[in-house]
Amino acid sequence: MTSSILPTYNRTPLSFVKGEGAWLVEADGRRFLDMTAGIAVNALGHAHPKLVQALSDQAHKLWHVSNLYTIPEQERLGDLLTEHTFADRVFFTNSGTESAELAIKMARKYHAEKGAAHRVEIVAFEGAFHGRSTGAIAAAGSEKMVKGFGPLMPNFTHLKWGDHAALEAAITDQTCAVIIEPIQGEGGIRPVPEQCLKGLRDLCDKTGTLLIFDEVQCGMGRTGRLFAHEWAGVTPDIMMVAKGIGGGFPLGAVLATEDAGSGMVAGSHGSTYGGNPLACAVGTAVMEAMLEDGFFDHVSRVSGVLRQGLEGLIAQFPNHLEEVRGKGLMLGLKCKISNLDLVRAAQTQLMLSVPAADNVVRLLPPLTLTENEAQEAVSRLSHALETLDAGA
């Protein structure tokens, strides 16, 4: 059957018609255990009653005005974010890509306003993913994403993962910012060691370089803290957020310190939909749920159960699997067999997972996953692995 949709995705022939918590119901009635959460988006699962309530309450009041006016729902969510993070300022976007664009612009504008307009170089890392706009693909720099799209936005340097000497050499008096995911998602669930994040912060401080954390995938409770960088005890100057912040409603944000955001004055940036009342009403409900006592403890507890089960699978299937990576409910199974084969085999066991680079299968379930559901995921993966020949 031909589709009218531009074929930029290799879609799996599954169509879901309903979701409940960590479960998705296919058009034919089959129930799938959703260990993807829309790629780290549905942080509170599907059809969470508080989000349904927040969205429908707001839908009855006001959908959209414009950023020409003060939007109370936006102010409330902005206050919650600044109260609970390093940030003093927030700009709301509609996606991670849009957050990447602003983070890049904000960093360059910062130096321009301080009389250092020559500081435009941005240091980024191989294996990174920051979105699909021309700026975001230039930041990631991978051949697959940039090929055929003409001249790239210049002044990005890409460093090998973990090469500290190269990092020190790459930061010069032309450098404006370093952009890094504390845990690479698309790159294969690759956490940056805590001491490296600390070292990076020191290096940025010494050189007056802005540090941008891309927490689009690893943020919003995913690792068992509100943001992944909290584990390392360092803070960025600018942070990109999206995915989980809207719990399934399109919403993103850029968070910044007062100083880092100081170049962004009236007229320097905008977004028609960014931070509209519907999105911010839902985003506030997501934040409030995450800030309830015990939410992050739950993530850590369920993560422990899932991780232990996955370690058991490594022991049981040493020819299929290599290691478990990640933190909280952002876990990756590094495979010896093809990761795509495992994703497909898990699907036949009615469990959804998502492939990543470096031959990894990602597990990014709703943060509301129960311990029983975590065990169920391990059991379905085990059945899937039994059907795959490691010698093939």
Residue 273 or 301: which CB sits closer to ligand PLP? 273
Residue 87 or 378: which CB sits closer to ligand PLP? 87
Residue 51 or 137: which CB sits closer to ligand PLP? 137
Residue 90 or 345: which CB sits closer to ligand PLP? 90
The two structure tokens encoding residue 112: 């321009």
Which residues bind to ligand PLP, rule: CB under 6 A?
39, 95-97, 100, 129-131, 181, 185-186, 214, 216-217, 242
Dist. CA 383–CA 386, nearest whole Å: 5
- Would you say 87 and 253 are in contact if contact means Cβ atoms under 8 Å apart? no
Q: Cβ of residue 240: shortest distance to ligand PLP, in angstroms?
A: 6
Residue 130 or 229: which CB sits closer to ligand PLP? 130
**Residue (of 327, 97, 124) closest to 211 by Cα position:** 124
The two structure tokens encoding residue 210: 């802005």
Nearest residue to ligand PLP, by Cβ distance, number only: 96
Instruction: Spell out where 242-337 has E strands.
Output: 252-256, 321-327, 330-335
Integer CA distances (angstroms), 8 to 30, 132, 145, 187, 307, in order: 27, 12, 12, 19, 33
Q: Cβ of residue 3: shortest distance to ligand PLP, in angstroms?
A: 21
Compute, in degrees rounded to 10, the torsion defined by CA atoms 55, 6, 355, 178.
Answer: -80
How do strand 330-335 and strand 321-327 relate by DSSP bridges?
A: antiparallel
**Residue (of 180, 210, 234) closest to 105 by Cα position:** 210
For residue 213, count other CB atoms closer than 10 A to its CB. 29
Q: Cβ of residue 215: shortest distance to ligand PLP, in angstroms?
A: 8
Residue 48 or 243: which CB sits closer to ligand PLP? 243
Distance between first and last Cα of the chain: 32
Q: Cβ of residue 270: shortest distance to ligand PLP, in angstroms?
A: 18
For residue 268, count other CB atoms closer than 10 A to its CB. 12
Residue 85 or 95: which CB sits closer to ligand PLP? 95
Q: Cβ of residue 374: shortest distance to ligand PLP, in angstroms?
A: 23
Residue 95 or 368: which CB sits closer to ligand PLP? 95
- Would you say 326 and 298 are in contact if contact means Cβ atoms under 8 Å apart? no
Sheet holding 16-20, edge to edge: 16-20, 23-26, 31-34, 351-352
What residues contact 367, with CB distance under 8 A and at least 6 apart? 43, 44, 45, 221, 222, 244, 290, 295, 298, 299, 329
Residue 73 or 214: which CB sits closer to ligand PLP? 214
Dist. CA 23–CA 37, nearest whole Å: 9
Residue 7 or 115: which CB sits closer to ligand PLP? 7
